[in-house]
């Protein structure tokens, strides 16, 4: 699978670790930054990753900041993006099974690195169930032209 990853300065180390782990698992990864510990604005990276997924350049995205919350709030402004901020394995799995989440958001100040890897694996391994969830997921999007 091809994934886009991004983080702000608060999550640089975890982003690099997850990127390397994804590559070890055989995925293709587009790293959209940040690439230093210099303070940056998380929405810039959330928009970059969300755009890569929205445009189909990458199948899924992973965004990490201090809490994962600002990344999810920003990514979810993009039509077709379903970003889930997850801090537990159950939610990570369910975000795929029922919500067809295409972006995983994690908090580097919330979860330990080893647990973040477990969350990522659970999220990647869980398939979208489809069936009744197709109708519900379709209803997440506002109709064209609605604010």
Of all helices (H) and strands (E), which one includes residue 60?
strand 60-65
Query: Which residue among 27, 58, 86, 98 is the active-site one?
Result: 98
Q: How far is the CB of 146 from ligand RB5 (least distance, A)?
A: 26
| Cα distance between residue 12 and residue 20, in whole Å | 12
Catalytic residue flag (residue 47): no
The residue within the footprint of ligand RB5, chosen from 10, 18, 63, 94 (CB under 6 A), is 10
Comparison of 6 and 70: residue with beta carbon closer to ligand RB5 = 70
How far apart are alpha carbons 88 and 95 in whole angstroms? 11
Would you report the helix, strand and coil content of the chain in percent, each value rounded to 5?
Answer: 45, 15, 40
**Helices 113-125, 89-97: crossing angle, 10 deg rounding:** 20
Q: One symbol per residue from 21 to 50: x for binding ligand RB5 (CB under 6 A), - otherwise; what is it?
A: ---------------------x--------
- Binding of ligand RB5 by 86 (CB under 6 A): no
Q: Does residue 13 bind ligand RB5 (CB under 6 A)?
A: no
**Separation between Cα atoms, residue 91 and residue 30, nearest integer Å:** 25
For residue 66, state whether it binds ligand RB5 (rule: CB under 6 A).
Answer: yes
5, 40, 62, 67: which one binds ligand RB5 (CB under 6 A)? 67
Please compute Rg for the chain using Cα positions.
14
CB of 2 to ligand RB5, least distance (A): 25
Question: Does residue 9 have an active-site annotation?
Answer: no
* Catalytic member of 9, 58, 65, 78: 65
Which among 19, 6, 103, 16 is positioned nearest to 61, based on CA atoms?
103
Query: In the complex, which residues of this chain contact ligand RB5 (CB under 6 A)?
Result: 8, 10, 42, 65-67, 69-70
Give the active site residues. 65, 98
């Amino acid at each position: 699978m091809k994934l886009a990853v991004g983080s702000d300065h608060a999550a640089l180390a975890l982003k690099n670790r997850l990127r390397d782990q994804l590559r070890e698992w055989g995925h293709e990864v587009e790293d959209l930054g940040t690439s230093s510990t210099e303070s940056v604005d998380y929405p810039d990276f959330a928009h970059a990753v969300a755009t890569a997924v929205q445009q189909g350049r990458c199948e899924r995205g992973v965004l990490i900041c201090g809490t994962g919350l600002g990344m999810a709030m920003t990514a979810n402004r993009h039509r077709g993006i379903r970003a889930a901020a997850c801090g537990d394995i159950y939610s990570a799995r369910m975000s795929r099974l029922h919500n067809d989440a295409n972006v995983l958001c994690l908090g580097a100040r919330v979860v330990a690195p080893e647990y973040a890897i477990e969350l990522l694996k659970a999220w990647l391994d869980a398939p979208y169930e489809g069936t009744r969830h197709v109708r519900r997921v379709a209803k997440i999007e506002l109709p064209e032209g609605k604010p």
